[in-house]
Structure 1
Amino acid sequence: MEKRRSRSERRASGEARRAEAPLSAHAELPIAPEGRDPVGLLRAQEDEREPELVPLRYERMTASPFAFLRGAATVMAHDLARTPTSSIEVQLCGDAHVANFGMFAAPDRRLVFDLNDFDETWPGPFEWDVKRLAASVVVAGRATGAKAKRLRRAAAATVASYRTTVGSLAAMAPLQVWYARVDVDDLVERLRATSLRDEARSASKASRRNSGDVAVQKLTEVVDGRHRFRHKPPLLVPVDPDAQPAVFRRAAALHTQYLESLRDDAQVLLRRFALVGLAQKVVGVGSVGTRALVMLLESGDGDMLLLQVKQAGRSVLTPYLTEPDVRHEGQRVVVGQRLMQATGDPFLGWARGTIPPRRDYYVRQLRDLKGGFDLEAFDVDRLTVYGRLCGAVLARAHARAGDPAVVSGYLGTSEEFDHAVADFAIAYADRTEADFSALAAYRATRVA
């Protein structure tokens, strides 16, 4: 019978990793190698995107340095691969910036706060997510005009929250860790004495209003007694089943394939609906240009349901980590999301296109009470509180598919890691601003 290592043994193995990767080493951002080309890294992704939408992607990314950071996960993955590593593996989000946390409905219909974007998920060293999160705090905070010392403290507080939370999780039983989640009602109460009190209440109320029924009203209209997607190019372009029957047939085949990826109970539920509408939809910042569809489903009694079908490409992490054996990129995203989220969308599934190049997709419910905080309205005090919240949530996500005892043993109880990553975040914010300028210059030549 195989025996599992004790918590103390696992913690000791993590502590031993400091001999090869000292905590202070995580402050290091190596000098950019000759030939480093952030615009080139972004352009390398154009082959998998719709050519007519690529300019819109760059337009959104050049709105601000933070918008650039959001869309440039491939650039940061390239840079992180050249930093010292703990080699302590967890399931990574791969894109853990502050705008990728939010509120949504759990299957029990209670609102939860968690990570909500997993396009780049893949196993890797835990600190990659932590460094991206801390850097995003600094880059977002610079827009407030806050001084560098306050932004460094905000980044350090974010990392400290991660470290102390993973330490607490390391002391818990595995089932306690697995079921731990952040309920929004509890979160609002916990934030009552902080600068985020009013924002938490407003975000909670707005999220509860953002139901699937509201999404149906916003995205569709009734024509001749039937719901049809609105025509708002290039953001929303309906597919006419009469004018484009082949496209609609392929979508129907994809929908059938998706149903087969679901658990039996979700299959039973969704087979009560039929596919009646289809549209192409532009989503996100970095995702702009990848194929994204919305499916309109209708029950026999006229109940409506919206599903989002999103192209899943190769994770930006995989060129720098162990070469994966990924048979389906959509399944990769779904598995990673299920591992990291405490609770999630029961309609998560995947499918593959039926004609060349046979793209992979993942499918989820659209706007099921989804919402979040208005980060653009934050001052540095609010951003610091929010960073702590995100750090704690990221620690819980890592603890589900990683070993919190090993991570906690490596981090210890001192603030050394907090300050090292805060230094890294400041340096990476400088690099992000330079990369943002490079993309803006490139875009200016294209527009001219």
Structure 2
Amino acid sequence: MPKQRIALPKQLWTEQSIDLTRHRYQGKLLTKSDGFALGKAQRKKIPREQLAHLSERPKDITALTLYDWSNEGRLERLKPIRAKRMSVSPFTFYRGVPALMLFDQVWEQHNSGLFQQICGDCHLSNFGGFASPERNLLFGINDFDETLVAPFEWDLKRLVTSFVIAAKEIGLGESTGLKAIQRMLNAYILHLDQQIALSPLQIWYEKIDASILLEKTENQKVRKKLAKKVNSASARDSASVLPKLTQQDDETGFRHFIEDEPLLWHPKAGEPFSQENDAFFERYRSTLKYDRQVLFDRYQCTDIALKVVGVGSVGTRSAIALFEDADREPLILQMKEANSSILSPLFLQKVPHEGERVVYGQQLMQAASDIFLGYSTAQQQHYLIRQLRDMKVSIDLVGMDDAFFYEYADSCGLALAHAHAKAGNADVLIGYLGEGGAIIQILQDYATQYAERNLSDYLQFMNAIADGKIQLAGEEAL
């Protein structure tokens, strides 16, 4: 059943919009000098100062309207768990409904007009470590559920706002959040500028290695904490979670998942993945590169369980599948339902498969992607598939001091610059942004305003909970 229709502008593109997805302008490839001049000219057409203005929401549209929209189609039994996780703080609320900010951004009167592939949900907790095919630990964006072609600064706006909200949450204060924005944007602009000197192939091959970031970390206390994370990453694989998630059957020798309701359970009749799983994984196999298909053939599926994940993803159809080779060596895949963006009606081209949309966006923006990244369909639902916990490392915000927060901001700016340069044109973006002073102030102003709006939205959400309009799960949901 299609979701309720939400009021959107007539179009996302305007006469002033420029498509950077093919690295061309008016049919010709952009040289570096032409790209810089194009960005500078765009700055005159659409002054950067206009990016600081928040949109006004259409009449009768509130945060709860968008929350209800995002809840449509989710599993009813899991909606209270999502609400519980979102209710923890203004930051978990911000993370829990990315459609809300995308909706606000599309209604903003002005954007840069520089369109390229973006993350779409670029907050600071969506950065972290992940494995390259060579088993090196890389750092970058690690969630692309909302990826789309849109103005590049939408990623910057979501990221800077997250620094202000998160800084307050962990007790560092707004001034620390604003300084973190300055650090992040300085790193972003500096690295974009460095990318201009590289060829397209050099940008494509470039990777942000976590060990290099560690070497560049000046604060010794922070370096020690990061080193512990980096050193433990190689042990975070399918085998490492077997004792916690599974137990072995004495008769068959196969492992199966240990139920832990309401967060982990085997599908019952009529639930997702209760049937036709062989066909599902055969369709998934066809989306992998040929050599990965052959590798995948060395495993067989021995168990599947539904699993609650994340904050914003709670309630969508998510599961994990245990595969074992002939010697019982494990491979655990995660299947996440991929839903359409709230802005899908404005896309110039219809998206054939939402899982494919996420995969293509991730492959375009990440330095290296999971070798088992693919997609499939089951019961008309689209899914994204990837490995569970393949050297994935996230940074815990709780306990961060100012020094750690600033170092992390530097890393996020570096990683986002590489993602944007890989997907778009660094020279055009630098031409538009300038050297940094003006855009830093503009985005700090925006972040302060949107953080206040987010707090107001969060309080409205909490009032709806208090009034009994939104049901909450218990503490076991956290």
1:156-189 deviation digits (Å, cap 9, x = unpaired): 2222222222122122211111111111111211
Counterpart of 1:14 in structure 2 is 39
Note the aligned Cα RMSD (angstroms). Answer: 2.0
Q: 2:457 aligns with which of 435, 440, 443?
A: 435
Counterpart of 2:266 in structure 1 is 238
Aligned pair count reads 441
Q: 2:376 aligns with which of 340, 343, 351?
A: 351
Structure 1 residues 274 and 15: alpha-carbon distance in aligned structure 2, compared to 1, 3 A threshold: same
User: Which whole-Å CA distance do the structure 2 matches of 1:436 and 1:223 have between them?
Assistant: 46
Q: 2:366 aligns with which of 338, 341, 345?
A: 341
1:208 matches 2:230? no
User: Which whole-Å CA distance do the structure 2 matches of 1:336 and 1:202 have between them?
Assistant: 31
Instruction: Give 1:246 shift.
Output: 10
Unmatched 5+ residue regions in structure 2?
A: 1-26, 473-478
411-420 or 192-201: bigger deviation: 192-201
Counterpart of 1:49 in structure 2 is 74
1:372 matches 2:394? yes
User: Which whole-Å CA distance do the structure 1 matches of 2:341 and 2:42 have between them?
Assistant: 27
Instruction: Give 1:324 shift.
Output: 3.3
Unmatched 5+ residue regions in structure 1?
A: none
User: Which whole-Å CA distance do the structure 1 matches of 2:270 and 2:303 have between them?
Assistant: 12
Q: Is the contact between residue 51 and residue 112 of structure 2 (CA under 8 Å) also seen in structure 1? A: no
SS of the residue 1:308 aligns to: strand
User: Which whole-Å CA distance do the structure 1 matches of 2:272 and 2:153 have between them?
Assistant: 46
1:23 matches 2:45? no
SS of the residue 1:130 aligns to: helix
1:367-388 deviation digits (Å, cap 9, x = unpaired): 1111121112212332122112
Counterpart of 2:349 in structure 1 is 324
Counterpart of 2:254 in structure 1 is 226
Q: 2:322 aligns with which of 296, 308, 312?
A: 296
1:188 matches 2:214? yes
Structure 1 residues 434 and 247: alpha-carbon distance in aligned structure 2, compared to 1, 3 A threshold: closer
User: Which whole-Å CA distance do the structure 2 matches of 1:302 and 1:31 have between them?
Assistant: 57
User: Which whole-Å CA distance do the structure 2 matches of 1:143 and 1:244 have between them?
Assistant: 41
Letter in 1 for 2:422: R
Q: 2:155 aligns with which of 104, 126, 129?
A: 129
User: Which whole-Å CA distance do the structure 1 matches of 2:75 and 2:460 have between them?
Assistant: 23
Instruction: Give 1:147 shift.
Output: 4.0
Instruction: Give 1:247 shift.
Output: 4.8
Counterpart of 2:65 in structure 1 is 40
Structure 1 residues 314 and 418: alpha-carbon distance in aligned structure 2, compared to 1, 3 A threshold: same
Q: 2:309 aligns with which of 283, 286, 291?
A: 283
Question: TM-score normalized by structure 2?
Answer: 0.88
Instruction: Give 1:3 shift.
Output: 5.6
Letter in 2 for 1:78: F
Letter in 1 for 2:184: T
Counterpart of 2:186 in structure 1 is 160
Q: How does 1:96-107 map to 2 (within 5 A)?
A: 96-107=122-133
Question: TM-score normalized by structure 1?
Answer: 0.94
Structure 1 residues 281 and 103: alpha-carbon distance in aligned structure 2, compared to 1, 3 A threshold: same
User: Which whole-Å CA distance do the structure 1 matches of 2:272 and 2:36 have between them?
Assistant: 57
User: Which whole-Å CA distance do the structure 1 matches of 2:272 and 2:362 have between them?
Assistant: 32
Letter in 2 for 1:38: A
SS of the residue 2:208 aligns to: coil
Q: How does 1:239-258 map to 2 (within 5 A)?
A: 239=267, 247-258=273-284
Structure 1 residues 194 and 164: alpha-carbon distance in aligned structure 2, compared to 1, 3 A threshold: farther
User: Which whole-Å CA distance do the structure 2 matches of 1:3 and 1:123 have between them?
Assistant: 20
Letter in 1 for 2:367: A
User: Which whole-Å CA distance do the structure 2 matches of 1:245 and 1:131 have between them?
Assistant: 38
SS of the residue 2:328 aligns to: coil
Q: 1:113 aligns with which of 104, 114, 139?
A: 139
Which structure is higher in helix share?
A: 1
1:142 matches 2:168? yes
SS of the residue 1:307 aligns to: strand
Counterpart of 1:308 in structure 2 is 334
210-219 or 255-264: bigger deviation: 210-219
Q: Is the contact between residue 105 and residue 112 of structure 1 (CA under 8 Å) also seen in structure 2? A: yes
Q: Is the contact between residue 144 and residue 380 of structure 1 (CA under 8 Å) also seen in structure 2? A: no
SS of the residue 1:294 aligns to: strand
Q: Is the contact between residue 274 and residue 298 of structure 1 (CA under 8 Å) also seen in structure 2? A: yes
